[in-house]
Amino acid sequence: MNRLILLFTAIRTLFNTAYRMAYPFLGVFARGLGVDIETMSIALTARSVVGGITPLLAPVADNRGRKFGMLFGLGLFTVSTALVVFWPTFLVLTISLALTTLGKYIFDPAMQAYLGDRVPYTRRGLVIAITEAGWSMAFIFGVPLMGFIIARGGWMAPFPLLTLLGGLLFLGLFILLPKDAPPASANGQWDNFHTVLTSVPALAGLAVGFWASTANEVVNLIFGVWLEDSFGLQIAALGASAAVIGLSEFGGEGLVALFSDKLGKERAVALGLVANSLAALLLPLLAQSEVGALTGLFLFYITFEFTLVSSIPMMTEVLPSTRATLMAFNVASLSLGRALGAPLAPFLYKFGFPVVALGAVVFNVCALFSLRRMER
């Protein structure tokens, strides 16, 4: 199991590196393909839409087994990155970005369900926090590596490496992961959907992630503009903020590993939501200097990451008979939360950044009420 956990973390680092590199190198990809930023943003829009259709494919792990689901997701990722190697066009890159993201969204619920099946609930927070480190490790190590490669080989240079690593990890997963059968209680896909959508605890748990994700997105989308407006140091400030975010995410995952099992997952999520609300309220107060603003962002992101990562092991135990299906819905609910927060952020910012921070607090309170409903 220890080797599998390390393998899962490596796979998630690869997935998340491919996912996160699109943001800092968007202009490089656009110039390499001969299109403008607005056209290039269409590719990211197509990728975002994939999050909403995740529940249609990810439950394959409930019906065909966890290993099949993970191999399917990783195989789809590897084939998708290979497409760009052979056909480096804007259309193919758009398709590749969408399919690699779909592969990630198929792999993650299957992996989380596998760990839910085999790791006792009292230790599940630690194990899932380790695998979630793949998100921050991608930002700390993976994306800089892709930048190094792009600087020397052009915009297409990361894709052969991503394909090679995807193939090697697929082989390692195929060899190391024991073959498993579908759960004894496995039903058809639509039966699984019905089970999730008629379960009050499941719907309340999904609402927790939805509202917490909305709260994060209203700050996440606007903080760069806020830093630019406040200090006029866009490049320097955003570069520093990227490092701050990566370190805070890693710190949040570490705190989950240390405390979520001891506190209890529900209590950890509640504590995270309260702490994130306090951090949001502190942001405008700390923003008297660039250092203060970055300190506030660190507190905001570390508390959000603690909340989000604590919620994942909590959700794995809500409906054990349809774990992969519920975790797929959880991915979709987080995506929909971001989709709601994105248009709200610039609207709230018209009234000043303190209103943005207050909006994040309101959404966190909604998440707390949903958590209370789930516990009941």
Distance CA 270, CA 285 (A): 24
CATH topology classification for 2-176: Growth Hormone; Chain: A; (1.20.1250)
Distance CA 329, CA 53 (A): 9
Q: In tens digits, what is the pLDDT along the chain, a chain of 376 residues?
A: 889 999 999 999 999 999 888 876 777 888 888 888 777 777 777 777 776 676 777 667 667 788 998 999 999 999 999 999 999 999 999 999 889 988 998 999 889 989 988 899 888 889 999 998 898 888 888 888 888 888 888 899 999 999 999 999 999 999 999 887 666 555 566 777 888 889 999 999 999 999 999 999 888 777 767 776 776 654 444 555 666 777 888 898 899 988 888 888 999 999 999 999 999 999 888 877 778 888 888 899 899 999 999 999 999 889 887 888 888 888 888 888 887 887 888 888 889 889 999 999 999 999 999 999 998 8
Which amino acid, residue 255?
L
Cβ-based neighbours of 190, under 8 Å, separated by 6 or more:
none
Sign of the four-CA dihedral 250, 252, 253, 254: positive
pLDDT digits (tens, 9 = 90+) for 120-171: 988 888 999 999 889 888 888 888 888 888 888 889 999 999 999 999 999 9
CATH superfamily of 189-375: MFS general substrate transporter like domains (1.20.1250.20)
Token readout for 197 is 């959508």
Residues of CATH 1.20.1250.20 domain(s) within the chain? 2-176, 189-375
Closest-CA residue to 109 (of 148, 58, 60)? 58
Token readout for 348 is 């709230």
Question: Global pTM?
Answer: 0.79
Ordered DSSP codes for 133-194: HHHHHIIIIIHHHHHHHHHHH-TTTHHHHHHHHHHHHHHHHHHHSPP-PPPTT---HHHHHH
Q: Looking up tokens 């405008």, which residue turns up?
A: 284
